[in-house]
Amino acid sequence: MTFRRRVLYIPGYDPIPPRRYRELYKREGAEQARISGYRLDFGPRSDRSGFGWGVNSEINGLRSESEIEVLVWADIVSGSMGQSIAATYGQLGRTAWAYIGSGALFRLMRLRRGPVIAALYPVVVLLAQALVAMLVAAGLGWLAARLSGISLLALPVFLAVTWAALHLWRRIDGRIFAYYLMHDYAFTAQGGGAYPAALEARLAQFSDRVAQVLADGWDEVLVVGHSSGAYLGVSVLADLIRADRVPGGARLAYLSLGHVVPMAAFLPRANRLRADLRYLSARPELDWIDVTAPGDACSFGLCDPVAVSGVEPSDRRQPLVLSAAFNHTLSPEKRRSLRGRWFRLHFQYLCAFDRPGDYDYFAITAGPLPLAARFAGRQHSPGRIARAVNGFTAT
How much is the pLDDT for 332? 94
Q: CB 358: neighbour CB atoms within 10 A?
A: 16
pLDDT at 340: 86
In the chain, which residue ranges form alpha helices assigned H by DSSP?
19-36, 74-81, 85-101, 104-108, 113-148, 154-171, 173-176, 178-189, 197-214, 228-242, 261-265, 271-280, 326-329, 332-338, 342-346, 361-366, 371-374
Please tell me the distance from the alpha carbon of residue 272 to that of residue 80, in angstroms, as a whole number: 21
Structure confidence at residue 306 (pLDDT): 98
Q: Which amino acid is at 344?
A: R
* Residue 229 buriedness (CB in 10 A; 0-12 / 13-18 / 19+): buried
Which positions ≥6 away from 188 have C-beta within 8 Å? 13, 228, 260, 263, 264, 267
Cis before 319? omega within 30: yes
β-pair partners for 9 = 70, 224
pLDDT of residue 103: 94
* Under 8 Å between Cβ of 28 and 88: no
Number of Cα atoms under 13 Å in the Cβ half of residue 54:
11
Query: Which pLDDT belongs to residue 343?
Result: 87
CA-to-CA separations, 54 to 8, 28, 64, 217, in angstroms, rounded: 12, 15, 11, 17
pTM of structure: 0.95
Alpha helices in 18-112 (DSSP H): 19-36, 74-81, 85-101, 104-108
pLDDT values of the chain reduced to their tens digit, one per residue, 395 residues? 899 999 999 999 999 899 999 999 999 999 999 999 999 999 988 887 889 999 999 999 999 999 999 999 999 999 998 789 999 999 999 999 999 999 999 999 999 888 888 889 999 999 999 999 899 888 888 888 888 878 777 888 888 888 988 999 899 888 888 899 999 999 999 999 999 999 999 999 999 999 999 999 999 999 999 999 999 999 999 999 999 999 988 899 999 999 999 999 999 999 999 999 999 999 999 999 999 999 999 999 999 999 999 999 999 999 999 999 999 999 999 999 999 888 899 999 999 999 998 999 999 999 999 999 999 999 999 999 999 999 999 99
Closest by Cα among 112, 94, 96 to 298: 112
Beta bridge partners of 7: 68, 222
CA gap 120, 114 in Å, rounded: 10
Would you state the pLDDT for residue 149?
A: 78
At 175 the pLDDT is 84
Specify the pLDDT at position 210.
97
Side by side, the strands of the sheet bearing 286-292 are 39-43, 51-59, 62-70, 3-10, 220-226, 252-257, 286-292, 320-323
What per-residue confidence (pLDDT) applies to 349?
98
